Every structure is written in structure tokens, then in C-alpha cells.
Structure 1
Amino acid sequence: MAVPMALALHGGCGTRTRQELTPDIEAAVRAGLERALEAGWHHLRKGSSALDAVTAAVIELEDDPQFNAGHGAVFTSAGTHELDACVMVGQGQRAGAVAGSHRIRNPILAARAVMEHSEEVLLAGPGADAFAEAQGLAMVDNSNFSTDWRRAALAEVQKLMARTGSIAGASESQKHGTVGAVALDRSGGLAAATSTGGFTNKPVGRIGDTPIPGAGTWADENVAISLTGRGEFMMRLAAAKEIAVRVAYRGTSLGPACAGLIRELDQMECGAGLVAVDKWGRITMPYNTQGMYRASISETGARQIAIFRD
């Protein structure tokens, strides 16, 4: 029986508000999601692996300044960028990740290199940068990731922190943002990839859920999952793996398993969202924030690109 291919991706649940999302910005966001979707789907159509598809999709999002990963990542409290990424494949549950990278142009490629060319799962900081450079990956100055609107967001959040001591009043686009993709290929292979700059004004050295297999990223023989939101909560719940466990051992189908997890995060006052696909090609993209940049396509030709609920 032929396996139905499927691809879903997100640009984070940290969307701009409807007021901030001018027609020009919305058009740019939708175009970025479309490019990422087409990049991943191109690989699936020609028979490449789910890993190739999610890697290609995330590279597009990392290179797009509209999203919080790679070029366009948020700033740390020190005015620098520290980038995290992870890939995972269902077959053999292999994974690779990098955290706190300063110079890797596309952290998702470094995460894949860790999985394919090392015995480790996670490399961090200067060690991750050195490994990526030794692998021949493109390296850039840290300032390459900077954009004016993210710099303005840093100034706003730091003023808010000085006044209130909390980021509770910050906008969702300032508090969190991530990119990710999940895919099912013709052979039934599943893969997930996630990449992020973290949250605006994050402490130097902070590592979230994105590069932690089982927290923000997961793939096994049944499901592939990529999360977005405040990573500390995802790590505490082992959120991605929790969904996989509910599917594998409780007999819960993918949609209810993901929706239930998002409800639990909502009860913890954690803004969150995810994209997931199962071995049958069923896609789900729930979230509890005002919006989530997201897109999906299946073998039936059904295609979705959306930001808000309407």
C-alpha cells in the first residue's frame, strides 16, 4: 500500500498582532511560508527522504528575516544571538542538535551534521561552532542574524523589564518564536526539524526545548512533532515525547493527543503551538496563542497557509 506523503511547518506561535501585521508584512510572511513549503515538498515529490524535506523547509525559514531563527533571530540580553536547532528521524530515533551557536549560518544543517557525522547528539556554544566549521558549513559573523525590528524589540522589552521586572506584558512575537517542520515520505519515513533564536532578551547561555529531543522535537515510527512556545514548560513536560507516548501506548489518535497537550500547556499559562504528522499522513497544527504561522500540504493536494484562526 502506498504511503501518503505529507508535510507541515510552522514559523512560530509568536506572531505579530493583527495591528502589527501590515499588508506588506503579512504578504512577506505568507510568501516565506510558501517558499518553505515548496522547498520541502519538492524533496518529497522526487522521492527524497522526510529528513531532506524538513531540512530544506527549515533552511528557507532560517534565511527569512520574518522568522525567529537564523537571519532574523531575536537578541539576547547582551545584544547578541544564540541559536538552537535539532533534527530527528523516526527510523532508529536518531537525533542531532546544536545549542548556543553564534556563527553557524544555518543551525539546522549543523544539527543534521551532528546526527550524521558524530557519535554525539547535542553540541553547544563554541564547540558547536567549531564542529560546524570543520564540517565545511557556512559560517557568518554574529551580526549577520540581526535585523532592525528585532533590535527595536530588544529595546522595548528591556524598558519593560526595567519598569515592571517581568516580560509578562511583552507581545507574543517578543516572548517566543521558533520555526519547524515535520514530514512523512513515500517509504513511510518520518522526520522533524526545529530551529530558534529563543526569546527576546533571554539570558546569555539559556537553552530551551528546541534542541532537546523529546521536549521540542521528536520523531519515531508513529509520529513526528515540532513545538513552538516557552521552552521551559516543554522541557518540564517532555512535551513532544509525551504526545508520542499517548499515541503509541494509550491508543490516542494524533489530533486529540496534540490538542490535549496544548490544553495542558494553556492551563500552565504557557503560550504554545505545534505541527505534527503521523504514519498515516494525518496532520495537526494546534496552538493556544492568538495565531501561529503555519503551512501544510498532503498528497491529496490539500494545501494550507495560515496565521490566525480565520
Structure 2
Amino acid sequence: MTAELDAVLDHYGLMRTGPATPLTGGADNDTVRVATDKGDVVVRRYLRPGPVRTELRFVEALARRGFPTPGPLRTHTGERLVPGDVPVAVFPFVEGAVPAEMTAELAVQCGRLLATLHTTAPDERLPVIDRRARLRKAIGEPLDLDGGEEFRDTVSAFLRDRAGELDALEALPSGALHHDPHRHNLLVADGEITALLDFGELNRGPLIVDLARAFHYLAVDRDDFRPPGDLVAAMLGGYGRVRGLSPAERASLQVAVDLVGLVDAAEFLVEHAPGLGYGSVESCHSWRAFRGSAGILG
């Protein structure tokens, strides 16, 4: 591993001056902090298939516009990635730590960050997620878990009874979504967010989906699986300081929260739960957060 790391750094004209320190927080990538002769850097191996080059172009452009996220360094030949079987990129190290909990002040800052992303994102062709199609596919798959029928019935009723609301959601202003805005993707120093990390789920969709995802993660992070009202309000307030929500967007927030919760639950229950030995739908945190988030926005 040391020789491989040194070979990666050589592409950037960097020399390692200390050991590599693993950085935790994500299961889809192998990330280490390394001291070099030109300062500390972060080396990231992309273990999950995806449009890595699109992500790096986007993040680089975003960083150039002053958004607090580290842009990839360029190799001595001007590339963002080191060639090889597994894509590898190198980033400047950013001071900060993952917050132990989401506070009201951090929620305000997170809301501002999402709105800033939505108003300054570079023009990049991004993948689009058909969330309704994912739900239809999920309820057509075998689901041999306790509570599986209730889950199917809930999803079927959601798609049928709230079709008009889902149509309205899809018609709202759209753009680049971070899509993974939870506290583990934040770095904080002295009470200030220094970076929003991990754009691996970057996609294009209704902008309020990022807020819905953030609210969903607030619920998942709680023992009672209910997003705290004060944090939801703080995040909405921070968002509104940068980008005002239209009445139509505010009216669609609840269905967006419900939609992202169900999609997350469907992915886990169908694709992961059986292989991990789970026997009940109740074991799925996203399912419990979907139910705990019902009616949080009126």
C-alpha cells in the first residue's frame, strides 16, 4: 500500500513525509490523509462505480466559485484522476472534524450551504433519478421480511394517492443536488462549517429534494426517528437567507420528504436487508424515519 501511495503522489509531484491516516465517514471510498513535502493531502480511491469524472469536474468548478468544498488537484499532466483499475484522486486537506451532532446553528449553516450550491452550481450534465420508477420496481421485487406486505401497501398507496403531488414536485425548479447532506459529510472547525464533502450521489432534480434529504437524515440520526422541529426550522431559515422558496416549493416539501424516505427504505429493504440477515421491515432506519417524518411540515 505504501508503494502504491507513493506512486500516486508522484503523479502530482508530491513526496510523502509521514504515514497515511485513514479517514472515516464513508463506506464507498477508501480515503486517507497523507503528509507530503507540499502540505497534507487527502488521497481517495473510488470503490463504487459511478460518473467519477463528472463529479470531479463539478466539484473543481464549484470550489473555484468559492464554495467550501475541496477541488481535486491536477496531476503533472493536467489530469484529475490517476490512471489505474480503481480511480484515484487527490485533494487538499481541509481542517475540521465531523460534528458529533447537528445543532441549530449548524442547521442554519447547512441550509445556507445547500442554497448556495443551488444558486452557484456549474452547468454540468448530471444523471437524473426517477424515484417513482425505483419505488415501482421495489414493490415488484420479492420481499420476504416481516412487515413486507405493509411496506408494499404503503408504497402502492403513496404512488396512487399522491400522484398529483408528485407531478407538482417534478415540475418545480431543478438543478444540481448534493443528495447526501448529513452531518457525516460536514467538516466543522470553531463552530463553522469548513467543507461539504462527498458529492458521490450528485444528480439533477427538484432543488427542494436536497432539503428533504437533509430532513430525512435528521430523523435517521435520532433514536425516535423524528426530525426535530427546531432543526428543520433552522435549516429552512438558513436556506431562505440565500434562496427564497416559492409557495409551490413550500407546498411540496412534505411529499418530497416522504418520497426520499420511501426510496431510501426501498433500496435498503430490497437490495441489502436480506443479505445482511435482517428479518423485519422495522429494522430499516429509513422506513422508521419515513413514518417519523409524517406531517412534520404541516
Greater percentage in helix: 2
TM-score computed with the length of structure 1 as normaliser: 0.24
TM-score computed with the length of structure 2 as normaliser: 0.25
Larger Rg: 2
